[in-house]
Amino acid sequence: MTVTCIATEQNSDYVKRTFDVTLNNSANVISVTHLQLEDWLPKGSPQSLIRLITDAHKLQEEANVEKPLVVHCINGFGRSGVFVTVQSEIERIRATGLVDIFATVKKLRNEHQHMMKKKVGTNCKGPGG
């Protein structure tokens, strides 16, 4: 396998890289977009989560089967887990109009044991308060 970095773009919260991946001297090249979440402190949040989500949405619209989106943070499951959860919820809202963060986190934790280890309380009020 040969991996070649084609482009690097530094943003305030993350680095976007584009790689070309070639398997076993094949003529087929797969282009991969990679986001490395850098400026997101372990007990904090990125300076602009909305901008990050917006940028990721644009990348997803550009992406297709031949151009997957890869996201990771320093340990591979904390902050990137939050990012993947938000992205999954955006897709759920588009498809169904419903939000179910707990189901998404449960599914992700079943697939990735250490993802989002910390329990977080919520304070959600329905209609009428």
Residue 54 has pLDDT above 90, yes or no: no
* Residues β-bridged to residue 15: 10, 36
Alpha-helical segments (H) within 63-122: 79-96, 101-111
| Number of C-beta neighbours around residue 99 at 10 A | 13
**pTM, full prediction:** 0.60
Q: What is the CA angle 107-111-116, rounded to 5?
A: 70
Name the more confident of 88 and 19: 19
In 3-state terms, what secondary structure has residue 49? Answer: helix
In order of their start, the domains of the chain are 2-111 (3.90.190.10)
26-30, 35-39, 61-65, 113-117: which has the highest mean pLDDT?
26-30
Mean pLDDT, the chain, integer: 74
Pair 60, 36: CB distance under 8 Å:
no
